[in-house]
């Protein structure tokens, strides 16, 4: 397939910007357009549930690239450009104002939208989601000292938001149907330690689902009815963090192969030869899950650029993600659900420790609290498929890096 002369990237999150960056770094000298549905320069999303809510970061601090980068790299950034149709048969995309933009190749980087709470009252004005800068501003205005905040969903976004709200002096309740959230991803030891820290920070934990949300107009509050409590929970603000729906509408309307995302190959190519997909909406063919993480979005962009330029895709790496809460950092590689057994390095009671997941004599996953060096080394071990001695993983006096030299 010949190198394209004009590429349009739809969506200006990390995956979209990374695609543009990798294309220019790889020598692409054709026209490159980046279409953003939002106004303003493209920004990073992970800080929204942490430093932005805490008032420690400004919009300028979140920028993925400075303003000058787009001109310096001949990336034509169009903001407020909402794409309403993908027209691969016509080599074009259509905007909300009816204009069409032609392209030899289109890269979909439309991310996703927060899942709404599918219950009565789930659309009440007190209910918030957190995905954009504007979402963070609206929510931040509600997180005042003493405010009663109910957070639904104890995954990464929910847990981080709950931690931020507690740090701001809110009275926080965290609701999740799973007693130990994230156990499948990071293992029960790490997940249990993380969840316990919520209670230590004064956050009330409720195990259950939300049945309905009832507005009490006279009191200007809502009552959250849950399966985990006999009495409803009174709240001033409800934050819903139960995952995202991948932004597949354009792909579906264009007849691309979808199913829990847009299906792609190892070069991010979709079922249409002139359309690629990257980031949260992309699902690798043969895999059931999408990786909704910062690192995966960046690597998707690099893989897409390589494919567009006719180069070999970058070497695969084990998935990696992190989460900050209550002054500590969780980091994980792989998924603990793939492990047959686990090995601990350090003691959970001491706060900082690592859990390794093994299948046979090979490391397949690792998770740690405040032990980034362990995770960096574990990732290299997994990527090299090097056999390991479990006793050395557990021995805190042993240098994990030595396992790479075996």
Dump pLDDT digits (tens) for 89-110: 999 999 999 999 999 999 999 9
Residue 46 gets which letter from DSSP?
G
Both structure tokens of 7:
């590429």
Q: Tell me the fold of 127-240.
A: FAD/NAD(P)-binding domain (3.50.50)
Both structure tokens of 157:
């976004």
Q: How many CA atoms lie within 13 A of 218 on its CB side?
A: 0
Tell me how crowded residue 231 is: count the other CB atoms within 10 A of its CB: 8
Residue ranges in 201-356 assigned as alpha helix (H): 249-253, 294-308
Both structure tokens of 245:
């729906």
Tell me how crowded residue 314 is: count the other CB atoms within 10 A of its CB: 13
Tell me how crowded residue 16 is: count the other CB atoms within 10 A of its CB: 28
pLDDT at 144: 97
How far is it, in rounded angstroms, from Cα 244 to Cα 260?
11
Question: Which residues neighbour 219 within 8 Å (Cβ) at sequence distance 6 or greater?
Answer: 234
Torsion angle of alpha carbons 172, 178, 184, 188, nearest 10°? Answer: 70
Q: Give the residue carrying structure tokens 């494919």.
A: 307
Both structure tokens of 73:
């790299």
What is the CATH code of the structural domain delimited by 327-405?
3.30.390.30
Strand duo 127-128 + 237-240: pairing:
parallel
pTM: 0.93
How far is it, in rounded angstroms, from Cα 167 to Cα 186?
24
Q: How far is CA 197 from the centre of its chain?
A: 22
Domain with CATH 3.30.390.30 in the chain: 327-405
Residue ranges in 243-371 assigned as alpha helix (H): 249-253, 294-308
Strands laid side by side in the 83-87 sheet: 83-87, 92-95, 100-102
pLDDT at 406: 57
Which residues does the chain have with pLDDT short of 70? 1-2, 406
pLDDT at 136: 97
Domain with CATH 3.50.50.60 in the chain: 6-113+244-308, 127-240
Question: Which residues neighbour 97 within 8 Å (Cβ) at sequence distance 6 or greater?
Answer: none
Q: Tell me the fold of 6-113+244-308.
A: FAD/NAD(P)-binding domain (3.50.50)
Report the candidate in 49, 10, 2 with the shortest Cα–Cα distance to residue 250.
Answer: 10
pLDDT at 1: 54
Q: What angle do CA 107, 109, 110 make, to 5 degrees?
A: 130
Give SS3 for 31: strand
Tell me how crowded residue 88 is: count the other CB atoms within 10 A of its CB: 20
Strands (E), 183-284: 204-207, 210-216, 221-226, 233-235, 237-240, 244-246, 262-264, 275-277, 282-284
Residue-wise pLDDT for 125-145, tens only, equals: 999 999 999 999 999 999 999
Which conformational region is residue 295 in: left (phi greater than 0), alpha (psi within -120 to 50 degrees), or beta?
alpha
CB 86 within 8 A of CB 93: yes
pLDDT at 114: 95
């Amino acid at each position: 397939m010949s190198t394209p002369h004009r590429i349009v990237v739809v969506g200006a999150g990390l995956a979209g910007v990374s695609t543009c960056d990798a294309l220019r770094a790889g020598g692409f000298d054709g026209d490159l357009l980046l279409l953003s549905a939002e106004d303003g320069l493209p920004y990073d999303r992970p800080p929204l549930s942490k430093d932005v809510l805490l008032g420690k970061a400004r919009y300028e601090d979140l920028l993925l690239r400075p303003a000058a980068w787009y001109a310096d790299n001949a990336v034509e950034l169009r903001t407020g450009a909402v794409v309403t149709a993908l027209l691969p048969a016509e080599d074009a995309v259509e905007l909300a104002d009816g204009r069409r933009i032609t392209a030899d190749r289109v890269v979909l980087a439309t991310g996703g939208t927060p899942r709404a709470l599918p219950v009565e009252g789930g659309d009440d004005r007190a209910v918030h989601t957190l995905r954009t800068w504007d979402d963070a501003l609206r929510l931040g205005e509600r997180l005042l000292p003493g405010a009663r905040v109910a957070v639904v969903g104890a995954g990464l976004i929910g847990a981080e938001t709950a931690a931020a709200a507690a740090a701001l002096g809110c009275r926080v309740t965290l609701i999740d149907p799973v007693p130990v959230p994230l156990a499948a991803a990071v293992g029960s030891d790490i997940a249990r330690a993380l969840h316990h820290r919520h209670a230590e920070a004064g956050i009330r934990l409720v195990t259950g689902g939300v049945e309905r949300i009832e507005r009490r107009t006279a009191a200007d509050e809502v009552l959250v009815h849950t399966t985990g409590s006999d009495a409803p929970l009174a709240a001033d603000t409800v934050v819903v963090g139960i995952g995202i729906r991948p932004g597949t509408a354009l792909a579906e309307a264009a007849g691309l192969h979808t199913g829990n995302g847009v299906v792609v190959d190892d070069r991010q190519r979709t079922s249409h030869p002139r359309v690629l997909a990257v980031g949260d909406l992309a699902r690798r063919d043969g895999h059931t899950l999408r990786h909704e993480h910062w690192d995966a979005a960046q690597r998707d962009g690099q893989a897409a650029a390589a494919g567009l330029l006719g180069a070999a895709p970058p070497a695969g790496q084990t998935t990696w993600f992190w989460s900050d809460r209550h002054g500590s950092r969780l980091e994980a590689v792989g998924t603990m659900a793939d492990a047959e057994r686990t090995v601990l390095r350090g003691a959970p009671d001491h706060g900082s420790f690592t859990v390794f997941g093994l299948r046979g004599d090979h490391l397949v996953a690792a998770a740690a609290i405040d032990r980034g060096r362990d995770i960096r080394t574990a990732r290299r071990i997994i990527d090299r498929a090097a056999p390991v001695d479990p006793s050395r993983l557990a021995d805190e006096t042993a240098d994990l890096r030595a396992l790479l030299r075996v």
